[in-house]
Amino acid sequence: MSTKRKKYTADFKSKLVLEVLECEQTLNEIASKYEVLPKSLRDWKKQFLENMSLAFDKSAVVREYKETIDVLVKEKDATSKKLGEVIIERDFLEGKLKSLVSFNSRKTLIDTKHKLSLNKQLKILSINKSSYYYKKVKPFSSNKDIKLTRLIDSIHTEHPYYGTRRLSKALARLGFHTGRKLVKKAMSFMGIKALYPKVRTTIANKEHKKYPYLLSEYKNDNNQVIINTPNEVWSTDITYIRLGKGFAYLSAIIDWNTKKILSWKLSNTMDTHLTTSVLREALYRYPKPKILNTEEKEIISL
């Protein structure tokens, strides 16, 4: 069994060394008197004699301690500077990690067996602790939600044209009171929609010819069509006029520069004769100087 090593104070050591220096007793007698080893007494005496001059030259002690303090201060400054650089580099890497790596990817980097604590890892990776422990609940997985989806599927199978309003009312009749928002979410989860005629705008036939846009040459830098001279660009349109019994159809041609109506006609039927006759009259009254292309000749000849 090992014995605990004794520790002696500086005052005790000084007292014993002074007795040794008085030479009234031998070193072994003093060691036996105070229950210390003779070797320890010799070492204490040697240490005392080597540092005896310090008692008369305090400046040397101060100078030694001052030099030691200066060295420690320089080491501390160097360490602080290095630590500051490391902190800046760490913050830079943390910022890049947040911007480049998604939350789920950062979550996979956590190692619960690492000696670094979980809280420290979460702080470094900028992950909230509640987000780390959160487990996503699968939608419509409870018994009540499953029952709701089955009822919606049953009603939709029988009445596929029911929307969220009518489905909510049908569910209420079955004792299952729920709002339209939940019904809409359930239908989206199930991948079903009400069947009804959808709004259909004009659908172009791919086999039909596509005519080029003829006003591109008149556009300015702001993509605006500017017509500076009269009798350069015409446009035409057809509209209907409601009468007491039935409709009348009006076709007109206008000049873009002067805003003048070049020709117009009324008809009780909307057919090609109405539009071509208006065009022929406008070309007759205001002949265009340029040579007509084949398509324009075909229109006039109708």
Residue with tokens 């997985």: 141
Do residues 243 and 280 share a domain?
yes
Do residues 242 and 295 share a domain?
yes
pLDDT at 51 > cutoff 60: yes
Domain with 260, as residue range(s), is 218-301
Dist CA 36 CA 34 (whole Å): 6
Do residues 294 and 225 share a domain?
yes
**Residue pair 278/251 in contact by the 8 Å Cβ criterion:** yes
**CA distances for 63 relative to 67, 70, 206, angstroms:** 6, 10, 99
The structure's pTM equals 0.34
Whether 281 is covered by a domain: the verdict is yes
Residue with tokens 């501390």: 76
C-beta atoms surrounding 178 within 10 Å: 16
Dist CA 44 CA 136 (whole Å): 73
Instruction: Please provide the average confidence, as pLDDT, over all residues in the chain.
Output: 82
Whether 42 is covered by a domain: the verdict is yes
Check residue 4 and give its pLDDT: 67
Q: What are phi and psi of 66, to 5 degrees?
A: -65, -40
Whether 291 is covered by a domain: the verdict is yes
Do residues 224 and 271 share a domain?
yes
Whether 46 is covered by a domain: the verdict is yes
Do residues 184 and 255 share a domain?
no
Check residue 291 and give its pLDDT: 42
Residue burial 9-20, b: 16+ Cβ < 10 Å; e: rest: eeeebeebbebb
DSSP H or E run through 118: helix 118-124
C-beta atoms surrounding 288 within 10 Å: 12
Nearest to 161 by CA among 137, 188, 195, 204: 195
Dist CA 67 CA 57 (whole Å): 16
Task: Give the dihedral sign, CA 20/22/28/34.
Answer: negative
Quick one: tokens of 44? Answer: 């204490």
Percentage of the chain with pLDDT > 70?
89
Number of domains comprising the chain = 3
Check residue 87 and give its pLDDT: 82
Do residues 229 and 288 share a domain?
yes
C-beta atoms surrounding 254 within 10 Å: 18
- 302 versus 92: the higher-pLDDT residue is 92
Query: DSSP secondary-structure letter at 232?
Result: S
Length reported for the chain: 302
CA neighbours within 13 Å on the CB side: how many for 289?
Answer: 4
Pairing between strand 247-255 and 261-267?
antiparallel
Whether 202 is covered by a domain: the verdict is no
Whether 212 is covered by a domain: the verdict is no
pLDDT at 218 > cutoff 80: yes
DSSP H or E run through 214: none
Whether 229 is covered by a domain: the verdict is yes
Q: What tens digit of pLDDT does each residue of 231-284 get?
A: 889 999 999 999 888 899 999 999 999 999 999 999 988 888 999 999 999 998
DSSP H or E run through 102: none
Whether 175 is covered by a domain: the verdict is yes
